[in-house]
Amino acid sequence: MKSINVRELRALIPSLKAELAAEHELLLVSNGEPVARIVALAPVAPAKKKLTSMKAFRETMPMMRVPSEVLIREDRDRR
């Protein structure tokens, strides 16, 4: 297990995946005392559910029969 301090961790973040693949475990040390342990378990599976596009979403929405500017004008005139 490799011990690193916070400053080293900040510098290591871009290559953290490779470092964990090599070491399997990192011990985070602050002021000489262990603070956390970073352990490489199994890779996290990406989310499988895809979001629909905005175009597809808009196509499912019902069209307004009266334009919004007419509805707004009618509402303002009632006040």
- pLDDT one-digit tens code per residue, 39-61: 887 766 777 778 888 998 889 98
Structure tokens at 8: 């080293």
Model confidence at 69, pLDDT cuts 50, 70, 90, reads very high
What whole-number distance in Å separates Cα of residue 66 and Cα of residue 79? 20
- pLDDT one-digit tens code per residue, 2-46: 888 888 888 888 888 888 888 888 888 888 888 888 888 776 677
In Å, the largest CA–CA distance within the chain is 74
Per-residue CA distances from 23 to 2, 28, 44, 79 (Å): 7, 13, 18, 70
pTM of the entire predicted model: 0.46
In this predicted structure, what is the pLDDT of residue 75? 95
